[in-house]
């Protein structure tokens, strides 16, 4: 089992840890402990390079506590090239900066949570 800390350490290196099911080869985030397709508990860790495209996003203007200093900022749902989705804080201020399907990359984890950047 990948611990939360291991998952975060990988994010800090711009990597997303995934599981590949030994039984059916299904890929999922390494926070899901049984294969969501076949239920197997035998999962192998694989690494994603955190690259993907924006599926959808928003720009927050009314932030929760702790995020006031960043406002406005973006939050996006991202389809990694590996076919798995993840979500992340993204430092953009205006809608035009991030059309749907823009290329992005996971770059780290800090007080802003999971962080992604535009990938040029």
Partner 1 sequence: MNKVCVIGTGSTKYGKLNESIVELAISAAEDAINTANITPNDIQYSIISNVFGVADKQVHLSPVITTNLGIPHVPGLTVESACGSGSIALREGYANVAAGFYDVVLVVGVEKVTHTGTARSTTLFSYCSDFFYEGGSGVTFPGLFASMARAYMHKYEANEEDLALVAVKNHENGMLNPKAHVRKRISVEDVLRSPPVASPLKLLDCCPFSDGASAVILASEEFAKKSGADYIEIIGSGRGASPATLQGRDDVTTIPSTRAAAQQAFKQARIEPKDIDFAEVHDCFTIAEIVDIEDLGFFEKGEGVNAVREGITRLDGELPINPSGGLKSKGHPIGATGVGQVVEVYEQLLGRAGARQVKNAEIALTHNFGATGASCAVHIFRRV
By CB under 8 A, is residue 96 in contact with partner 1? Answer: no
Contact partners, residue 68, CB within 8 Å, separation at least 6: none
**CA 115, CA 93: separation in Å to the nearest integer?**
15
CB-nearer residue toward partner 1: 104 or 114: 114
| Residue of 15, 6, 31 whose CA lies nearest to 81 | 15
- What is the x/- site pattern for partner 1, positions 4-43, by CB under 8 A? x--------------------------x------------
- What is the x/- site pattern for partner 1, positions 39-68, by CB under 8 A? ----------------xxxxxxxxxxxxxx
By CB under 8 A, is residue 85 in contact with partner 1? Answer: yes
- DSSP helix/strand/coil, 8: helix
Position among 89, 102, 107, 108 found at the interface with partner 1 (CB under 8 A): 89
Residue ranges of alpha helices (H) inside the chain are: 4-12
By CB under 8 A, is residue 113 in contact with partner 1? Answer: yes
Torsion sign across C-alpha atoms 73, 75, 79, 82:
positive
Residues that bind partner 1 (CB under 8 A): 4, 31, 55-68, 70, 73, 75-78, 85-89, 95, 100, 112-115
């Amino acid at each position: 089992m990948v611990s939360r800390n291991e998952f975060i350490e990988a994010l800090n290196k711009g990597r997303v840890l995934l599981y590949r099911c030994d039984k059916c080869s299904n890929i999922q985030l390494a926070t899901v402990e049984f294969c969501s397709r076949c239920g197997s508990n035998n999962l192998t860790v694989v690494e994603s390079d955190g690259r993907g495209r924006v599926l959808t996003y928003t720009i927050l203007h009314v932030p929760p506590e702790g995020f006031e200093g960043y406002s406005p900022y973006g939050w996006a749902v991202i389809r990694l090239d590996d076919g798995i989705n993840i979500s992340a804080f993204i430092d953009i201020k205006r809608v035009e900066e991030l059309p749907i399907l823009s290329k992005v990359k996971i770059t780290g984890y800090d007080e802003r949570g999971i962080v992604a950047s535009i990938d040029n």
